[in-house]
Amino acid sequence: MNDLQIHSKITSMEIDVLQALHQRTLEKYTAGPSIDRARLFFLLLPFFDGKQWSDDMEDSAKTVAIVYAALHAHDQVEEDSPISKSQQLTVLAGDFYSGIYYQMLSNSNNIKLIQLLASGIIGVSEKKASLYEKTIMPVAGIESAAEVIETELLKVFYDYYGCSQYSAIAKPALEYVYFSNQLDSFRNGVETKILRKLNLALPLPLYSERWLLDKLDSLHSELTKVLDVHPMDFNLKNFMLHQITPHQHLAEQLTREG
């Protein structure tokens, strides 16, 4: 499968998800559903890798993307400021998207997956809330929170469809994207919950940038190692390394031999 085909499949799924979540008022007043293309790539990874792929899997993959959109909408609600119309509707957007994913899975009689995703959402919500606890969170706690927030629901999807082997690839890649966004926020002077916790966990706030750079190197190296031994198509590996997690700090090129 070449890059164009991969992009095209991701776009097609993105359109389907956006159509499922279409709601006139929400579209007018909110930023709309956030459909992360990197996440769609990983939801589709078994398909790209030539594993058995059914309509049921494709529909479930869409619902997982919808769950992420629901949770993401609620991340966009500002902590303390008086709430505007757009923010009020952002609250409702998250709830509306949750209703849609529940309805889609119940229509396909996929009750077990609803339950597993609900358990996953509980874990994600607990980790997100933990970032607001007043205690200082050790760096390991921050890493664990990021891992659960970014990968838990994808893991549920992989496990449910017997594709657990992809978790080892998705974990470093999605965490890479996550911490890379944190680094951008740090450099742009934008405070995030993770950065706030990181600044408190490290001896000096200035160390945060160094820590993030080291983390990105380590995640990239972890990803490269996993891919090196995975019997996946070279183009697919290359797509992942260069289009999903382009490493701008210590870029390592994957060779055909590797």
Partner 1 sequence: MEKVKLKLLYSELRPELDKIEKELEVAVGSNSLLLNEASLHLLQAGGKRIRPVFVLLAGKFGDYNVDVMKQVAVPLELIHMASLVHDDVIDDSEMRRGQTTVKAQWNNSVAMYTGDFILARALEYITVIEDPKIHDILSKTMIEVCRGEIIQIEDKYKLDQTVRDYLRRIKRKTALLISSSCELGATVSGTDAETAARLRRFGYFIGMSFQITDDILDFTSSDEELGKPAGSDFIQGNITLPVLFARKDPLIYGRLKEAVGKDMTDSERKEIVELIRTSPALEEAKSLSDQYLNKALKELMLLPKGNANKTMRNIALFIGKRKF
The pair of structure tokens assigned to 43 is: 């939801």
Which one of 41-49, 56-64, 110-118, 231-239 is the stretch in contact with partner 1 (CB under 8 A)?
A: 110-118
Shortest Cβ 99–partner 1 spacing (Å): 4
Q: CA-to-CA distance for 243 and 241, rounded, in angstroms? A: 6
Residue in the structure block whose two tokens are 């070449």: 2
DSSP characters over 4-36: HHHHHHHHHHHHHHHHHT--HHHHHHS------
Q: Closest distance between partner 1 and the C-beta of residue 53, in Å?
A: 24
Tokens 């956030």 correspond to 34
**Do residues 216 and 249 touch, judged by C-beta distance below 8 A?**
yes
Residues numbered 90-109 forming contacts with partner 1, rule: CB under 8 A: 91-92, 94-96, 98-100, 102-103, 106-107, 109
- Residues 209-248 as x/- pattern, contact with partner 1 by CB under 8 A: ----------------------------------------
Q: Which is nearer to partner 1, 8 or 103 (CB)?
A: 103
Using CB under 8 A, pick the residue from 51, 128, 196, 242 that binds partner 1: 128
Interaction pattern, residues 156-195, with partner 1; x per rule: CB under 8 A: -------------------------------------x--
Judged by CB under 8 A, does residue 200 bind partner 1? no
Task: Determine the Cα–Cα distance for residues 256 and 254; give it in Å rounded to an integer.
Answer: 7
Radius of gyration of the chain (CA): 19
Q: Would you say 21 and 33 are in contact if contact means Cβ atoms under 8 Å apart?
A: yes
Tokens, residue 205: 């706030």
- What is the rounded distance in angstroms from the CA atom of residue 196 to the CA atom of residue 166? 31
Contacting positions for partner 1 (CB under 8 A): 23, 25-26, 70-71, 74-75, 77-80, 82-83, 85, 88-89, 91-92, 94-96, 98-100, 102-103, 106-107, 109, 111-112, 114-115, 117-119, 121-122, 125-130, 132-133, 193
